[in-house]
Amino acid sequence: MRVFQYILIALILTSGMLHSQSISRVVPDTGRQSMTFPITVYGLGTEFTLSPYFVINFDSLGVGTNNVLIVNDTTLTGNIFIDGKASYGFHRCIVADEFSNIYTKDSAFFVYLGVPPPPVLLLPFDNATNVLQTPYLLWDSNGYVTSFRIQVSMDSLFGSMTYDTVVANTPLTIRPGVLSLNTKYFWRVNATNSLGTSPWSTVFRFRVRTTGITNLSEGIPEKFILHQNYPNPFNPVTKFRFELARDNYVRMNVYDVSGKLCAEIVNGRLKAGIYEALWNAEKFASGIYFYTIETEGFREVKKAVLLK
């Protein structure tokens, strides 16, 4: 019985030694989003020199540290970095050593709201080509932002605007009739919250495809039809009209006389109806071209003449 008591006391003491350290404070104990600065973590015990290294973390994505150094038994230093989208409010400090000992302090550090960082553009990719006339613009989200401003221009310096709007959140699809076919555009975004407005994002570029498609009627035609393009001959823009008797996956392409693909007019599923597609052949030479349409159970080829 006495041997058992000795063993139990030894286990308790050993357990206490492994966790005898605790965090008393973090100095400074506050910071704003988008900041980086030195911090010091103080402990109540004297164990910090027993481990060759430590890591300091906080219970928030976007708040972390690097360059952690052991000053003495009770003191650690490091650099804290607070992301521009880090969680607002109190955060627990979590210190771990090489031996998997964990020391924590609740509400050790408070993150204040800061002016938002510049948004990061995602889609369309920079220098994207063959983009729809109604592009889907996507940038990174930020839960602390109240609004985003989006500018689209044919001028890389944004001296004149094609599109300038404010939205509450990402993403944005530009409405029909704003962008022109076969045209290069530049776009950027900034973010605003109650403290101010971020700098503009980096500028992305994209080029709108050379073709556009319009649904002329949602009435259901009696059969599949590919009409002759008009005008024909044309210079440099022509229109292709086709009718779909039922919902279908449609492929429409333009080829030159050698069989080389010149333009992809349609490649996707469309509802039954009457459609008109626009092709701008400005960059192509005069000559004969063939346009084809393929659906489930229907295929047809017609000839178009480009005359410059």
Mean pLDDT (whole number) for 6-12 = 36
pLDDT, tens digit, for every residue of 90-114? 999 999 999 989 999 999 999 999 9
What percentage of the chain reaches a pLDDT higher than 90? 74
Q: Which domains does the chain have, with CATH numbers?
A: 2-112 (2.60.40.10), 121-208 (2.60.40.10), 211-306 (2.60.40.1930)
What confidence category does residue 20 fall into, taking pLDDT thresholds of 50, 70 and 90? Answer: low
Q: What six digits make up the tokens of 23? A: 């965090």
pLDDT, tens digit, for every residue of 186-220? 999 999 999 999 999 999 999 988 777 888 887 89
Model pLDDT, residue 213: 81
- A 10 A CB-CB count for 243 gives 19
pLDDT greater than 50 at residue 12: no
Displacement of CA 48 from its chain's centroid (Å): 42
Model pLDDT, residue 91: 96
* CB-based contact 191:121 (threshold 8 Å): no
What confidence category does residue 284 fall into, taking pLDDT thresholds of 50, 70 and 90? Answer: very high
pLDDT, tens digit, for every residue of 27-66? 999 999 999 999 999 999 888 999 999 999 999 889 999 9
pLDDT, tens digit, for every residue of 219-273? 899 999 999 999 999 999 999 999 999 999 999 999 999 999 998 888 888 889 9
